[in-house]
Amino acid sequence: MKLKLWHLLLIFFIVWFAVSYGLISINWSGWQPQTTTEEGVVVTRSIQFTVYDKYGGAAVASASISVYDENLYQLETLTTDSNGQATTNKAYTSGTKLFVLVTKSNDKAWYEIVVPTMNPADVEAMTTIPMTLEFFSLDTSMTIKVIDQEGNVYSSGDTLNLTNLGLDKITLTINGYVSADGKGFISSYDPLNDIDWNVILYASLSGTGYELISITGFDRGYEKGTTMYYAEKLEDTEVTKYKQGNQYVYDGVWSRTVTLDATGYSGSTVTLTIIVYAYSDPDYHFTYGSYGPDAVAMCSSFTLTIEH
């Protein structure tokens, strides 16, 4: 039997009636229109993250990846495989803003990302949106050395005797040495706690008469309770030891020179303490008394007793 025009019209009317009144439903989810911009094709897909140690030159296995939306609502948590990869369970559309936190032991970094578009060729060849997150391995065995203007080298626990040196003021050079190749740091911003994750060199004066001694040469100083604190940011590259071939790109050595003035002080009751913290912010320390919710010491405390 040949279909006549009125047959086709009747079929169309029946389908239209059924859909309009909810008698049947049609699922269009398998079809997505593609929008192409100057940057590429807008897609909605899972993201395949690859976490890569920028300075160690290797994929980072067993790292935790937490994905947050722009309102900092946690969407999902993943763990990287032996290839440093993890694929989201949810699909994300190009142009969507996300915050991503990667952690592994003492290694931590935040990333603010916008889900990218894809090249037209990749849309057909790939089923996920690939994204690489550059990561690092933090050094927690940094060595600190202090040298005065006379060339005297001090170890932690020593006494800085200004009387024996015949000085009221003394210039000190604080040197730091990263312990191993491939160690480094990438600063970031923690949106959950509203704190910058930087590496900060802290020095403090405490003990009876601490207020009679001053230090200049740091970015800032502030008093909390019965302790005077000084702080200075160290650049990421200063606390990174990385080489290509036999040539160091970053040698993992940093130095700061400060002046200690004990003119009005007499005694041996004041202690100078030096320490370096990662994921720290002096503003947070000043306000809350903590070096940071996630702060990690990169070295042991270095102490000197000041005698004058």
pLDDT at 27 over 50: no
Q: What is the pLDDT of residue 30?
A: 42
CATH of 35-135, one of 3.90.1010.10, 3.40.630.10, 3.40.640.10, 2.60.40.10: 2.60.40.10
Query: Distance between CA atoms of 268 and 207, rounded to whole angstroms?
Result: 9
Listed residue (193, 39, 194) closest to 115, CA to CA: 39
**Mean pLDDT confidence for 187-215:** 98
Mean pLDDT of all residues in 124-138: 96
Mean pLDDT, residues 90-111: 98
Mean pLDDT of 149-163: 97
The mean of the pLDDT values for the chain is 92
At 274-306, the pLDDT tens digits run: 999 999 999 999 999 999 999 999 999 999 999
> Which amino acid appears at position 216 of this protein?
T
The average pLDDT across 13-20 equals 60
Q: How confident is the model at residue 132 (pLDDT cuts 50, 70, 90)?
A: very high
The more confidently predicted of residues 276 and 124 is 276
- Closest to 63 in 3D by CA, of 99, 104, 106: 104
Output 78 or 9, whichever has higher pLDDT: 78
For residue 28, what pLDDT is reported? 43
Please state whether beta strands 47-53 and 58-59 pair in parallel, antiparallel, or not at all (unpaired).
antiparallel
Q: Find, among 285, 276, 279, the residue nearest to 256 by Cα.
A: 276
Q: Which two tokens stand for residue 46?
A: 């899972």
Q: Residue 18: its pLDDT value, please?
A: 60
Decide: 63 and 100 in contact? Cβ < 8 Å: no
pLDDT at residue 160 tops 60: yes
Residue 19 pLDDT more than 60? no
Q: For residues 193-221, give the mean pLDDT.
A: 98
Helices (H), 136-252: 162-165
Statement: 143-307 belongs to CATH 2.60.40 = yes
Tokens 């790292």 found at? 63
d(CA 250, CA 136): 14
Structure tokens at 97: 């803003």
Q: Which residue has the higher pLDDT, 30 or 285?
A: 285
Asked if the model's pLDDT at residue 39 lies above 80, the reply is no
Beta carbons of 33 and 44 less than 8 angstroms apart: no
Q: How far apart are CA 24 and CA 12, in angstroms?
A: 14
Residue 31 has a pLDDT of: 43
Q: At a CB cut-off of 8 Å and minimum separation 6, what does 156 contact?
A: 144, 300, 301, 302, 303, 304
* Res 40: pLDDT: 84
SS3 for 189-220, per residue? EECCCCEEEEEEEEEEEECCCHHHCEEECCCE
Region 222-242: mean pLDDT is 98
Tell me the two tokens of residue 60.
Answer: 């980072």
pLDDT in tens, 242-267: 999 999 999 999 999 999 999 999 99
Q: 27: part of which helix (H) or strand (E)?
A: none
Give the pLDDT mean for 60-73: 98
Higher pLDDT, 88 or 124: 88
Q: State the Cα–Cα distance between residues 48 and 171, nearest whole angstrom.
A: 52
Please report the pLDDT score of residue 110 as a whole number: 99
Q: Where in the chain is the domain with CATH 2.60.40.10?
A: 35-135
Residues in the chain: 308
Distances from the Cα of 230 to the Cαs of 203, 268, 278, in angstroms? 5, 20, 16
Instruction: Provide the percentage of residues in the chain whose pLDDT is more than 90.
Output: 85
